Amino acid sequence: MRRNASLFVAISMLSGFGGGAMALVSGIWILDLSGSAGLAALAGLCVYAPVLAGPWLGGLLDRASRRPLVIAVNLMLAGALLALLAVRGPGQTWVIFVVSGAYGVSYVLIDAGETALLPSALSVAELGAVNGWRSSAQEGMKLVAPLAGTGLYAWQGGHAVAVLSAAMPILVAVLYLAVRLNRTAPERLTKPDRGLRAGLSVLAGQRSIRVPVLLAGVSIAMSGFVTAALYTIVSTDLRLPTTFLGVLASAQGAGSILGGIMVGRLLSRWGPVPVGLAGTVLFAVSCLARCLPWWQATVAGALVAGVGLPWTLVAAVTAVQTHTPAALLGRVAATANTAMFGPLVLAIPLGSVAVHLGGRPPVLAATALCLAAAAASARDRWLPSNTTHRRHHRSPANDHDRQTCATG
For the stretch 92-125, pLDDT in tens is 999 999 999 998 899 899 988 888 889 888 888 8
Which residues fall within 8 angstroms of residue 250, CB to CB, at 6 or more apart? 143
pLDDT tier for residue 85 given thresholds of 50, 70 and 90: very high
Cβ atoms within 10 Å of 188's Cβ, excluding its own: 10
pLDDT tier for residue 150 given thresholds of 50, 70 and 90: confident
pLDDT tier for residue 381 given thresholds of 50, 70 and 90: low
pLDDT tier for residue 335 given thresholds of 50, 70 and 90: confident
146 or 152, greater pLDDT: 152
Kindly state the average pLDDT of the residues 332-343.
88
pLDDT score for 305: 95
pLDDT tier for residue 185 given thresholds of 50, 70 and 90: very low
| Whether the predicted pLDDT of 48 surpasses 90 | no
DSSP string across 391-406? HTTTHHHHHHHHHPPP
Kindly state the average pLDDT of the residues 331-350.
86
Percentage above 70 pLDDT, the chain = 87
CA distances from 151 to 53, 155, 248 (A): 34, 6, 21
| Whether the predicted pLDDT of 382 surpasses 60 | no
Note the pTM of the prediction, 2 decimals.
0.77
DSSP state of 187: P
Give CA–CA dist 361/364, Å, rounded: 5
pLDDT score for 50: 87
Averaged pLDDT score across all residues of the chain: 84
| Whether the predicted pLDDT of 352 surpasses 70 | yes
The alpha carbon of 142 is separated from its chain's Cα centroid by a whole number of angstroms, namely 12
pLDDT in tens, 49-62: 888 888 888 877 77
pLDDT in tens, 190-240: 444 555 676 677 877 788 889 999 999 999 999 989 888 888 888 888 888
Kindly state the average pLDDT of the residues 308-320.
94
| Whether the predicted pLDDT of 396 surpasses 80 | no
Could you tell me what percentage of the chain is helix, strand and coil, using 3-state DSSP and rounding each to the nearest 5? 85, 0, 15
